[in-house]
Amino acid sequence: MLRIIDVRTGEPVEAAPARRGLTRIQAHAAGCDPTALRVLLVADVLFRALEIGGTPVWALLTGERQQAELRAAAAALGIRPFEDSRDVSAGLGEAQVIHVMADSGPAPDGVRIAVAPVEDASVPIPDGADPAVVRLALLSRRRSEPVRLDADALAEARETLARWRRAVADWARRPSRAIPEEVRGELRTAWEDDLDVCAVLRVLGSVETSDLPEGARFETYAYADRLLGVELTRDVGSTP
């Protein structure tokens, strides 16, 4: 069961209601900058985690400025579309509401997830940067920690993503094998513990150099990418 630390109380709460009712994710973004994008990315990963667990989710975006620009930038990072909260007159009987917002954001009622800023957020993401690389760079730090999108961070994410995609494409040529239950459990335990994406990345790092059958490693990476959304299987079937 996915549990999230509510920053109001510092206590974990279940992100999915026990009766499998609807969970509403409300992302709050004041404008269009890298910090706002990080807020939407955290909300997107939360959506993916709940979806994998079979929980119906309703995603809304609250913001007053640069909505079109923010939505376009979010789409480029593979973030699913969010409905505009201004167009919604009433809830749909959701059993849980989770607000995802910047550390310095307003304080609405309900469970709150705080997202630390992107340092030097006034500096735009470099033109031509691979969206999947930017996404991985943002996911490589816990959401409670500030993150930088400087040349070093992007280079590290680019190298990791290229290496993993090459490995996944190679493993895909081998017979498929089931994900070992122990590994599947490690992945689920990681993201169900306060959406710890960094722990998910560490599991993938261990699997990369493990002695698991290559087909099982492929399936593990494909499964984890349902959460990460960085197109780890993009190069499958390409010419060696």
DSSP 166-180: HHHHHHTTSPP-PPP
Please tell me whether residues 159 and 113 are part of one structural domain.
no
Q: Is residue 113 part of a domain?
A: yes
> 96 is in which domain, residue-wise?
3-124
Q: Is residue 131 part of a domain?
A: no
Structure tokens, 52: 């994998």
- 240 vs 237: CA distance, rounded Å: 8
Q: Is residue 27 part of a domain?
A: yes
Q: Is residue 105 part of a domain?
A: yes
Mean per-residue pLDDT, 65-93? 79
- 169 vs 158: CA distance, rounded Å: 16
pLDDT at 123: 61
Instruction: Give the rounded percent of residues in the chain with a pLDDT score beyond 70.
Output: 90
Please tell me whether residues 21 and 116 are part of one structural domain.
yes
Q: What helix, strand, coil percent values describe the chain, rounded to 5?
A: 40, 15, 40
pLDDT digits (tens, 9 = 90+) for 182-203: 999 999 999 999 999 999 999 9
Q: Is residue 237 part of a domain?
A: no
pLDDT digits (tens, 9 = 90+) for 14-39: 988 766 678 999 999 888 888 999 99
DSSP 3-state of 229: coil
